[in-house]
Amino acid sequence: MADPQALDEVVEFTSGLIRIDTTNRGGGDCRERPAAEYAAERLAGAGLEPRLLERTPGRTNVVARIAGTDPAADALLVHGHLDVVPAEAADWSVHPFSGEVRDGVVWGRGAVDMKNMDAMILAVVRSWAREGVRPRRDLVIAFTADEEASAEDGSGFLADAHPELFEGCTEGISESGAFTFHDGAGRQIYPIAAGERGTGWLKLTARGRAGHGSKVNKENAVTRLTAAVTRIGEHEWPLRLTPTVRAALTELAALYGIEPDFRDIDRLLEKLGPAAKLVEATVRNSANPTMLDAGYKLNVIPGEAVAHVDGRYLPGGEEEFTSTLDRLTGPDVAWEFAHHEVALEAPVDAPLFALMRDAVREFAPEGHVVPYCMSGGTDAKQFSRLGITGYGFAPLKLPEGLDYQALFHGVDERVPVEALHFGVRVLDRFLRTA
């Protein structure tokens, strides 16, 4: 990329988007519209015709299409979300919605999740407009609402109500991939996501006999609930290898000169050292209790108690997940999905993956690109309803000591300016060749 203005704009846009508070607490009070208008204005400045779409007033999505030079080629979806998780200002070194640029770093909620990628997309598109560049295949650019909750007002709404906007799209890229992972021994690894665990957010409800807190009660809803929650929290899920995780382990083992023994995954992970962090959360299903709600007075035994559990399951692991929850909750506790989305798997031998690998290598020749599976989920789940295969590709070159994964939803979220510059260059190179 020979356009220095794009390098300035990616920093400006990251900071500008952070300053727009799009906190999504999950109760429907988020308003992404100001950020959507910010993005749409900059797309329009690149000669595009962005559409602003809402299911709920204020929960705004932006979609635009860039025509490619080959009308016979499949289209590519490039998407990012505009909402962010809450941030408590008192816990931060800088105000989380200041977008402050200090000592070569952009600070604020969304700096890595994922207003940085939104800014990269805008910077590349505007650079192309100035240079007269057109991609080979159509690109559909989408900025979505509500990713940090149910996506019902965002990608879910777009996929269900406006599938025509994504006509021809067969593949897509978004967050959580192509970032620098330092292994502590001098190696720089760039994991590109080619899968996601499924989402199984659960609501557990225990019912019992209400009564006085001083009386014996063998039908105590709180006791029943906490027993089930304890069983879930202490459960050891069995190891399972999906094709993406197997590919990740194979490439990591080769990098370290290890013979991969898939009969003893725990031992293999030990041999990988710090690099095991890229894989260890995706070799099994998981279920973590996160919220409890019971009672209204200390000396009253309530007739109902509720808990919530963040469950995730591997591709092909949903049946095991649900049958295990049936067993762990037992006869006295009912459970249901509060939010339920599919697990995803994308081929790592696809031409698009090779192009992503090449783009990273051009600007980080010392890096080692490997596939991996995300432990969480993205809007790729909803777009998969349209037959779109999703990858995580939001490139960042990060310095050693900056724990990228800990910054997701963490305190003092931030991104180096140089990382944004790297991301723009890699994204530009990839999208020109895709």
Q: Is 147 a catalytic residue?
A: yes
Q: Shortest CA distance to 172 belongs to which of 42, 80, 72, 281?
A: 80
Give me the catalytic one of 3, 113, 147, 196.
147
The encoded tokens of residue 421 equal 């510059």
* Burial class of 375 by CB neighbour count within 10 A (0 to 12, 13 to 18, 19+): middle
Residue 413, φ and ψ in degrees, nearest 5: -60, 135
Q: Enumerate the H helices of 298-365 as residue ranges.
A: 318-329, 351-363
Query: Do residues 99 and 19 make contact, with C-beta atoms less than 8 angstroms apart?
Result: yes
Buried b (16+ CB within 10 A) or exposed e, 53-75: bebeeebbbbbbbbebeeeeeeb
The span from the CA of 49 to the CA of 66, in Å, is: 9
Q: Is 83 a catalytic residue?
A: yes
Cβ neighbours of residue 198 under 8 Å, at least 6 residues apart? 312, 313, 314, 315, 317, 318, 321, 340, 341, 342, 343, 344, 377, 381
- Which amino acid is located at 221 in the chain? A
| C-alpha distances in Å from residue 16, one per residue of 11, 210, 384 | 8, 53, 30
Give me the catalytic one of 9, 12, 32, 83.
83
Positions annotated as catalytic residues are 83, 147
